[in-house]
C-alpha cells in the first residue's frame, strides 16, 4: 500500500484518536519518516495531549538508539494515561536499557499493581534483578513469567542466570525444556551445545551444534565450537573446511586463528601452525591458551628458548593451569636447567595429581641420574595409571611406550 | 648561515680573482664566492660575470629541493575549492582512499591507522602525520579542530600556514638579504629592476629568476620575469615554461601551472617537470592523473628513482598497499640505499606477519648509517616478534637513550606492548604510565591502560581511560568498541549503542562492532 498523505485525515479537527490507525499502519510498515511527520502534526493540533502518537514516537526514537529521548516521551504518555500498563512497561524498559535497574524495578512494581498476570513485567523484572546480581530473585521472576506464558527469551535468560551461577546442569535443563517448545532455534541449540562442551560431554554437544549448523550454517560461534570437537577427534581437514567458512565472517578472531593453528599442528605442519598462532597472539595478546599452544609447537620443533618464553608468558597470564608447569619443566630440562625443571614439576604435581606429570618427572629425574627419586615418582605414576579406565590408557600410545621403557630401566621396588 | 660576514679568501698574486671565485663556487664554498664577488663588484659595479656568479652563489646557498617538501597549508586544505567532486568514488580521491581488503590494502585491526584514516606509513614525510581536514566525512568543526591541532596530537607542532615551509625559509633569507649587498641593502633590488631588459638576455635572466624565486621567495615577481622571458624566446623554451609552472603552483593557480608544465613536457620531457606536474595533480586531488603522469615519466626515464617513489607514495595514500610495495621494491632495485623504500617495506613486512623480513630491512637501514629512536624502536619490536629476545631489550635501551620528549612516549608504549607479550602485566602497566607521563596526549597508552584496568576489575578507571581516548582520538576504533562492550555488559545500552556506532564510523568492517550493534537493535526493537 502506498502511504497516504498526512493531510487527508488530519485536516478536520476531529477526535484525538482519528488518525491513530494511519500512524499505526505507517509504523508497522517501518515508514518511520512519514510516521513522524504525521505524529508531529497531531501533536501540534492537540497541544501534545494525545497518547498514542507520543507512544509511537517514543518507540521510533528507541529504535534509532535515542533512548533518553524515548524515555521522556514514554513518561509523558504515562502522565496522560497512568492506567495504561503498556506505557508503564515501556518506561520500565527504557530505564532498563539506560542501565538504571533499580528505578526500572520500581516502575515494574507500579505496573504489577495494574496487572499481576503479565509475563512481560515478570520477565523484565528478572532481567533487572540479574543485572543487580540478585540471581535467586531473578530466577523466581523468570519462573513466574514462564508460568503465565512461555517464551523463548525467558528461557534463554533463565539459562543465562544458571550459567552465571555456574549451575550448568540446571541451565541445560532449562534450555532443553525450551527446545521442546521451539525445537529449531539455532541460538538455543548452540548454547546447549556449548554448555555440554563445558561439561565435557562432547558427543552430545556435537549433536546440538550440528543441529544448530543445519539451521544457521554460517554462525562463526557455532562453527568454532563444532570445529574444535572435530579437531579433538583428529579430523583436521574437516575442521579446516569448517573454519574456512567462519574466517570469511570473522577474519580477525583470535580464537579462530588459534584453532586453525592447532589444526596445522595436528597435521605436523609446524611453520603454518606457528604463523597462525602468532597472528592469533597479535590479535589477542591476553589469551593464555595461544601462548600455551605456541609453546607446545616450539617444544615440538626443538626451539626450546622460544618455547620457554611462551610457556612463561602463558603462566604469567593464567597461573592456575597445571599442565603449563609440566611443559615448562620439560622445556627447562631440555635447556639443561635441572633444578628449575624439578621445581616446576613439583609445582604442577602440587596443584593436581596427574599421571603424566609423574611420568615426565620420573623421566627427567632418570635422565639426570637421580634414579632413586625417579623410581619413587614412577611408582606414583603407576598408582595413578592403574586408576585410569581403558579408553584413557589407550588414547596415547606414547605413554605406554615410555612406561615400558622406564619399567625396564628402573629397579623394581 | 655560512655566508654572513665571511672574509674573502686570499687570492694568490697573478691569479684572476674571478677564477678563484669560480673554483670556490664549484667547491660549493658559497660564502667565499660571495665575498670575492662582492669585492669585484665594489671595484667594478658593472662586471656581469661577477654579478652572475654572486647571484648563483646566493641562490645556491639557500637552495632547497622544493619538490620534496610540499606540505599543504591549513588555509588551502580547509578552503579547498579545487576538489572536483564532493563525494568522489573510492580510490579516485586522496580524501576517500580505497577501503579494506578490496584494494589488497591492509586491515585496520592489523595495522594501526593514523589520524587521517590511513594505515601508518613506514616513513614520516610531509602530510603523513597530520590529519587532512574534511577527510573521513567528519563534520566541519571536527575537521577544523583536527587541522588546527597540527600533526602529532598534543605536541607543540603548529599547523602549516599558507606557504607552508617556504614562509619560514623566507624569514631566514631576510637576514641574508640584509647583509648580502655591500652597502647594507639587498644585493638586487628586484622591484627596481627593468625585468624586460633582463628577459632579453637568456643566461642572466635564468640566474636572476632563480635568485628571485629561491632567495627572495617572491613568486609574483619571478612569474613576471618568466612570462617576459618566454615571450622573448617565442614560447619555445621548455625551461621557462617549467619555471612558469612552478611559480603558478606556488601562487596556487593550479590549472595554469598544469598547462605550463604540460607544454614544457611536450617540448622536452624532464624528470623535474614530471614531478611538478604530478604534484599539481595531487594538490588538485586527482591521484590517478598523478599516477599516469608518473608512469609516463617512468617510461621516459626508466632509471629515475624519484618517479618510482612518487608513484609508490601516491599508491600508499590511496591505500593500495600491494601496488605500493611492488613500486618500493622497484625503487630499491634502482637505488639500493633508498631509505624511504627500505623503511616502508620493513613496515609492510612487519604488519603482514613477517617480522623476520622486517628485521632484515631495519638492519639494512642501520648499516646505512640511520640511527634514530624510531629505527631502534622498530628493530626492538621486530626482534621481539621474530623471537630474538636477547636483542629486543638492548634495542629498546638504545631507543630510549636517543629519544627526545616527543618520541620517548612512543618507545615506552612499545615497551608496554612487549611486556604484554611476555605476560608481565605489571611492567606493561608501568610502561604505559611512564608513556603518559612523558607525553600526556599519548592516546594509545590510554587505550591500553583502559584494557589493563578492565582486566584488574577497575571498571571506573577503565571507563575513564576509554573516555579520554574517545575525546582525543576519534580515529581509533578499539577504544570505542571496548567502551561499548563495557557499557553493554554493565547494562547501559544507550552508551553502548552510541559508542558502537562510532567504532563502525572509524572502521566500517569491524565484525565485532556490527555484531554488538545487531544485538542492541534487537533489544531496542523488542517490546
pLDDT in tens, A367-407: 888 888 888 888 888 888 888 777 777 777 788 888 888 88
DSSP element (H, E) containing B277: helix B271-283
Whether B25 shows a pLDDT value over 90: the answer reads yes
Asked whether the beta carbons of residue A312 and residue B487 sit closer than 8 angstroms, the reply is: no
Mean pLDDT for the stretch of residues B197-222 = 87
Question: B413 and B431 in contact (C-beta within 8 Å)?
Answer: yes
Give the DSSP per-residue string, B430-455: HHHHHHHHH-TT-HHHHHHHHHHHHH
Q: Read off the C-alpha cell for A391.
A: 579408553
More confidently predicted of B280 and B175: B280
Compare all CA atoms of chain A with the CA of B498 and give the residue at the minimum distance: A65
Q: Which residues of A touch B (CB under 8 A)?
A: 62-63, 65, 67-68, 90, 93, 96-99, 101, 120, 131, 153, 249-253, 275, 278-279, 281-283, 285-286, 288, 291, 303, 305-306, 309, 312-317
SS3 B73: coil
Give which of A84, A132, A252, A255 to mutate to test B binding, by max B Cβ within 10 Å: A252
pLDDT tens digits for range A158-176: 888 888 888 888 888 888 8
The domain tally of chain B equals 3
Angle between helices A304-317 and A288-300 (to 10 degrees): 160
B470 Cβ under 8 Å from any chain A Cβ: no
SS3 B146: helix
Distance from first CA to last CA of chain B, Å, rounded? 76
> For residue A54, which of A29, A23, A82 has the smallest C-alpha distance?
A23
The pLDDT of residue B48: 87
Confidence of residue B284 (pLDDT cuts 50, 70, 90): confident
Is the residue at B125 inside a domain?
no
CB atoms within 10 A of CB B207: 19
* Same domain? B287 vs B321: yes
DSSP element (H, E) containing B332: helix B321-334
SS3 B119: strand
Sign, CA dihedral B222-B223-B224-B225, equals positive
Asked whether the beta carbons of residue A63 and residue B109 sit closer than 8 angstroms, the reply is: no
The pLDDT of residue A263: 92
B128 Cβ under 8 Å from any chain A Cβ: no
* Same domain? B365 vs B258: no
Compare all CA atoms of chain B with the CA of A67 and give the residue at the minimum distance: B494
SS3 B271: helix
pLDDT tens digits for range A287-331: 899 999 999 999 999 989 889 999 999 999 888 898 999 999 999
Question: B475 and B507 in contact (C-beta within 8 Å)?
Answer: no
More confidently predicted of A177 and A413: A177
Is the residue at B402 inside a domain?
no
For residues A136 and A126, give the distance between their C-alpha atoms in angstroms, rounded to a whole number.
10
Confidence of residue A66 (pLDDT cuts 50, 70, 90): confident
CB atoms within 10 A of CB B333: 12
For residues B242 and B165, give the distance between their C-alpha atoms in angstroms, rounded to a whole number.
21
B526 Cβ under 8 Å from any chain A Cβ: yes
> Across-strand partners of B119?
B113
pLDDT tens digits for range B370-429: 888 889 999 999 999 888 888 898 999 999 998 887 788 889 999 999 998 888 889 999
Residues 6+ apart with CB under 8 A from B305: B331, B334, B335, B338
Q: Read off the C-alpha cell for A294.
A: 605456541
Is the residue at B521 inside a domain?
no
For residues A32 and A3, give the distance between their C-alpha atoms in angstroms, rounded to a whole number.
11
User: Mean pLDDT lowest for which of A26-35, A332-341, B146-155?
Assistant: B146-155
* Same domain? B276 vs B375: no
Q: What phi-psi label fits residue B371: left (phi over 0), alpha (psi between -120 and 50 degrees) or beta?
A: beta
Residue entry with cell 526514537: A61
* Same domain? B238 vs B349: no
Cα A123 to Cα A86, A117, A148, B385, B438, distances in angstroms:
14, 11, 10, 50, 51
The pLDDT of residue B427: 92
The three-state DSSP-derived secondary structure of chain A is: CCCCCHHHHHCCCCCCCCCHHHHHHHHHCCCHHHHHHHHHHHHHHCCCCCHHHHHHHHHHHHHCCCHHHHHHHHHHHHHHCCCCHHHHHHHHHHHHHCCCHHHHHHHHHHHHHHCCCCHHHHHHHHHHHHHCCCHHHHHHHHHHHHHHCCCHHHHHHHHHHHHHCCCHHHHHHHHHHHHHHCCCCHHHHHHHHHHHHHCCCHHHHHHHHHHHHHHCCCCHHHHHHHHHHHHHCCCHHHHHHHHHHHHHHCCCCHHHHHHHHHHHHHCCCHHHHHHHHHHHHHHCCCCHHHHHHHHHHHHHCCCHHHHHHHHHHHHHHCCCCHHHHHHHHHHHHHCCCHHHHHHHHHHHHHHCCCHHHHHHHHHHHHHCCCHHHHHHHHHHHHHHHHHCCHHHHHHCHHHHHHHHHHHHHCCCC
> Across-strand partners of B113?
B119
Q: Which residues 485-524 in chain B show a CB within 8 A of chain A? A: 487, 490-495, 497-498, 501, 511-512, 520-521, 523-524
More confidently predicted of A146 and B131: A146
CATH 1.25.40.10 fits A257-338, yes or no: yes
More confidently predicted of B463 and B508: B463
pLDDT tens digits for range A217-234: 888 888 888 888 888 888
CB atoms within 10 A of CB B341: 28
The pLDDT of residue A260: 92
Confidence of residue B103 (pLDDT cuts 50, 70, 90): very low
User: How close A44 gets to chain B, by Cα (Å)?
Assistant: 27
Question: B13 and B44 in contact (C-beta within 8 Å)?
Answer: no
Confidence of residue B176 (pLDDT cuts 50, 70, 90): very low
* Same domain? B179 vs B316: yes
SS3 B97: coil
Whether B171 shows a pLDDT value over 60: the answer reads no
A8-17, B108-117, B191-200, range with greatest mean pLDDT: B191-200
The pLDDT of residue B431: 94
The pLDDT of residue B178: 46
pLDDT tens digits for range B44-82: 888 889 999 999 999 998 888 777 656 565 556 556 666
For residues A358 and A385, give the distance between their C-alpha atoms in angstroms, rounded to a whole number.
10
For residues A236 and A263, give the distance between their C-alpha atoms in angstroms, rounded to a whole number.
5
SS3 B330: helix
The pLDDT of residue A314: 92
Compare all CA atoms of chain B with the CA of A316 and give the residue at the minimum distance: B423
* Same domain? B255 vs B241: yes
Is the residue at B80 inside a domain?
no
Give which of B349, B351, B491 to mutate to test A binding, by max A Cβ within 10 Å: B491
Confidence of residue B175 (pLDDT cuts 50, 70, 90): very low
Is the residue at B202 inside a domain?
yes
For residues B379 and B357, give the distance between their C-alpha atoms in angstroms, rounded to a whole number.
11
Question: B16 and B39 in contact (C-beta within 8 Å)?
Answer: no
Q: Which residues 80-119 in chain B show a CB within 8 A of chain A? A: 107, 109-110
Is the residue at B97 inside a domain?
no
Question: A94 and A71 in contact (C-beta within 8 Å)?
Answer: yes
CATH code of the domain containing B359: 1.25.40.10
The residue range of the domain holding B316 is 163-330
* Same domain? B181 vs B316: yes
* Same domain? B240 vs B354: no
- Kindly report the backbone phi and psi dihedral angles of residue A148, in degrees, each rounded to the nearest multiple of 5, phi listed first: -75, -50
Q: How far is CA B224 from the centre of its chain?
A: 31
Residues 6+ apart with CB under 8 A from A147: none
Instruction: Look at residues B330, B350, B371 and tell me which one is the last residue of a structural domain.
Output: B330
Question: B34 and B11 in contact (C-beta within 8 Å)?
Answer: no
* Same domain? B199 vs B348: no
Question: A272 and B127 in contact (C-beta within 8 Å)?
Answer: no
pLDDT tens digits for range A134-145: 888 888 888 888
Residues 6+ apart with CB under 8 A from B441: B153, B154, B155, B472
The pLDDT of residue B83: 58
Task: CATH 1.25.40.10 in chain A: give the residue spans.
Answer: 257-338
Confidence of residue A253 (pLDDT cuts 50, 70, 90): confident
More confidently predicted of B57 and B175: B57
More confidently predicted of A115 and A125: A125
Residues of A in contact with B490 (CB under 8 A): 99, 131
Q: Is B439 exposed, middle or buried (0-12, 13-18, 19+ CB in 10 A)?
A: buried
Compare all CA atoms of chain A with the CA of B492 and give the residue at the minimum distance: A99
* Same domain? B42 vs B178: no
Question: What is the average pLDDT value for chain A, to the nearest integer?
Answer: 85
Amino acid at each position: 500500500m502506498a502511504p497516504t498523505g498526512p493531510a487527508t485525515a488530519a485536516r478536520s479537527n476531529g477526535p484525538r484518536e482519528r488518525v491513530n490507525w494511519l500512524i499505526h499502519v505507517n509504523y508497522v510498515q517501518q515508514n518511520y519518516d512519514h510516521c513522524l511527520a504525521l505524529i508531529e502534526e497531531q501533536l501540534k493540533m492537540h497541544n501534545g495531549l494525545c497518547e498514542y502518537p507520543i507512544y509511537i514516537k517514543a518507540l521510533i526514537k528507541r529504535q534509532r538508539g535515542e533512548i533518553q529521548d524515548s524515555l521522556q516521551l514514554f513518561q509523558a504518555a504515562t502522565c496522560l494515561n497512568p492506567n495504561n500498563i503498556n506505557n508503564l512497561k515501556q518506561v520500565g524498559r527504557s530505564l532498563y536499557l539506560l542501565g538504571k535497574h533499580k528505578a526500572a524495578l520500581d516502575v515494574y512494581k507500579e505496573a504489577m499493581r495494574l496487572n499481576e498476570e503479565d509475563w512481560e513485567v515478570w520477565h523484565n523484572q528478572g532481567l533487572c534483578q540479574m543485572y543487580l546480581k540478585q540471581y535467586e530473585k531473578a530466577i523466581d521472576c523468570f519462573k513466574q513469567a514462564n508460568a503465565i506464558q512461555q517464551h523463548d527469551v525467558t528461557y534463554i535468560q533463565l539459562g543465562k542466570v544458571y550459567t552465571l551461577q555456574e549451575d550448568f546442569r540446571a541451565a541445560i535443563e532449562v534450555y532443553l525444556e525450551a527446545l521442546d517448545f521451539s525445537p529449531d532455534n539455532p541460538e538455543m541449540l548452540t548454547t546447549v551445545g556449548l554448555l555440554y562442551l563445558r561439561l565435557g560431554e562432547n558427543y552430545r554437544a556435537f549433536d546440538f551444534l550440528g543441529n544448530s549448523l543445519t539451521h544457521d550454517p554460517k554462525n562463526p560461534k557455532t562453527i568454532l565450537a563444532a570445529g574444535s570437537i572435530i579437531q579433538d577427534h583428529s579430523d583436521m581437514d574437516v575442521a579446516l573446511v569448517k573454519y574456512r567458512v567462519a574466517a570469511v565472517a570473522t577474519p580477525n578472531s583470535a580464537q579462530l586463528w588459534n584453532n586453525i593453528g592447532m589444526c596445522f599442528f595436528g597435521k605436523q605442519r609446524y611453520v603454518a601452525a606457528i604463523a597462525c598462532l602468532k597472528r592469533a597472539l597479535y590479535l589477542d595478546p591476553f589469551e593464555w591458551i595461544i601462548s600455551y599452544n605456541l609453546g607446545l609447537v616450539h617444544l615440538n620443533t626443538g626451539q626450546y628458548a622460544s618455547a620457554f618464553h611462551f610457556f612463561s608468558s602463558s603462566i604469567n597470564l593464567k597461573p592456575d593451569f597445571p599442565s603449563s608447569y609440566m611443559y615448562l619443566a620439560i622445556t627447562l630440562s631440555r635447556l639443561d636447567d635441572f633444578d628449575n625443571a624439578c621445581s616446576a614439576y613439583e609445582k604442577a604435581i602440587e596443584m593436581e595429581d596427574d599421571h603424566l606429570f609423574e611420568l615426565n618427572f620420573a623421566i627427567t629425574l632418570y635422565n639426570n641420574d637421580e634414579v632413586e627419586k625417579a623410581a619413587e615418582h614412577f611408582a606414583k605414576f603407576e598408582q595413578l595409571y592403574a586408576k585410569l579406565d581403558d579408553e584413557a590408557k589407550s588414547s596415547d600410545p606414547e605413554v605406554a611406550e615410555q612406561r615400558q621403557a622406564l619399567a625396564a630401566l628402573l629397579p623394581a621396588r | 648561515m655560512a655566508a654572513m660576514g665571511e672574509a674573502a679568501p686570499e687570492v694568490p698574486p697573478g691569479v684572476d680573482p674571478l677564477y678563484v671565485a669560480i673554483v670556490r663556487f664549484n667547491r660549493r664554498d658559497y660564502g667565499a664566492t660571495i665575498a670575492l664577488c662582492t669585492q669585484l663588484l665594489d671595484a667594478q659595479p658593472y662586471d656581469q660575470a661577477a654579478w652572475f656568479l654572486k647571484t648563483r652563489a646566493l641562490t645556491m646557498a639557500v637552495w632547497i629541493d622544493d619538490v620534496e617538501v610540499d606540505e599543504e597549508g591549513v588555509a588551502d586544505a580547509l578552503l579547498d575549492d579545487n576538489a572536483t567532486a564532493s563525494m568522489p568514488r573510492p580510490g579516485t580521491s586522496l580524501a576517500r582512499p580505497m577501503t579494506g581488503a578490496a584494494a589488497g590494502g591492509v586491515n585496520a585491526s592489523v595495522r594501526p591507522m593514523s589520524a587521517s584514516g590511513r594505515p601508518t606509513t613506514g616513513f614520516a614525510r610531509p602530510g603523513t602525520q597530520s590529519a587532512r581536514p574534511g577527510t573521513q566525512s567528519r563534520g566541519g568543526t571536527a575537521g577544523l579542530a583536527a587541522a588546527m591541532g597540527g600533526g602529532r596530537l598534543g605536541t607543540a607542532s603548529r599547523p602549516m600556514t599558507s606557504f607552508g615551509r617556504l614562509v619560514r625559509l623566507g624569514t631566514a633569507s631576510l637576514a641574508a638579504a640584509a647583509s648580502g649587498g655591500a652597502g647594507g641593502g639587498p644585493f638586487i633590488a628586484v622591484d627596481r629592476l627593468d625585468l624586460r631588459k633582463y628577459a632579453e638576455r637568456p643566461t642572466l635572466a635564468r640566474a636572476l629568476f632563480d635568485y628571485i624565486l629561491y632567495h627572495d621567495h617572491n613568486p609574483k615577481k619571478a612569474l613576471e620575469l618568466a612570462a617576459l622571458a618566454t615571450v622573448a624566446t617565442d614560447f619555445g623554451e621548455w625551461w621557462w615554461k617549467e619555471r612558469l609552472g612552478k611559480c603558478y603552483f606556488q601562487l596556487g593557480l593550479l590549472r595554469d601551472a598544469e598547462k605550463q608544465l604540460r607544454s614544457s613536457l611536450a617540448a622536452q620531457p624532464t624528470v623535474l617537470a614530471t614531478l611538478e606536474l604530478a604534484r599539481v595533480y595531487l594538490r588538485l586531488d586527482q591521484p590517478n592523473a598523478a599516477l599516469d603522469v608518473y608512469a609516463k615519466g617512468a617510461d621516459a626515464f626508466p632509471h629515475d628513482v624519484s618517479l618510482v617513489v612518487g608513484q609508490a607514495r601516491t599508491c600508499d595514500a590511496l591505500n593500495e598497499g600491494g601496488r605500493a610495495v611492488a613500486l618500493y621494491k622497484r625503487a630499491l632495485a634502482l637505488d639500493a640505499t633508498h631509505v624511504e623504500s627500505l623503511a616502508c617495506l620493513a613496515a609492510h613486512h612487519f604488519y603482514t606477519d613477517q617480522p623476520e623480513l622486517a628485521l632484515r630491512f631495519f638492519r639494512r637501514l642501520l648499516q646505512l648509517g640511520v640511527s634514530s629512536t624510531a629505527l631502534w624502536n622498530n628493530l626492538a619490536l621486530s626482534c621481539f616478534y621474530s623471537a630474538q629476545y636477547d636483542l629486543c631489550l638492548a634495542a629498546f635501551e638504545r631507543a630510549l637513550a636517543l629519544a627526545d620528549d616527543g618520541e620517548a612516549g612512543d618507545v615506552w608504549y612499545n615497551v608496554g606492548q612487549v611486556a604484554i607479550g611476555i605476560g608481565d602485566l605489571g611492567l606493561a602497566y608501568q610502561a604505559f604510565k611512564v608513556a603518559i607521563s612523558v607525553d600526556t596526549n599519548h592516546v594509545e597508552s590510554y587505550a591500553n591502560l583502559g584494557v589493563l584496568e578492565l582486566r584488574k576489575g577497575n571498571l571506573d578507571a577503565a571507563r575513564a581511560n576509554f573516555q579520554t581516548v574517545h575525546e582525543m582520538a576519534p580515529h581509533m576504533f578499539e577504544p570505542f568498541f571496548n567502551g561499548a562492550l563495557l557499557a553493554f555488559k554493565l547494562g547501559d545500552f544507550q552508551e553502548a549503542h552510541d559508542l558502537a556506532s562510532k567504532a563502525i564510523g572509524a572502521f566500517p568492517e569491524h565484525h565485532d562492532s556490527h555484531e554488538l550493534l545487531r544485538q542492541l537493535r534487537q533489544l531496542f526493537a523488542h517490546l
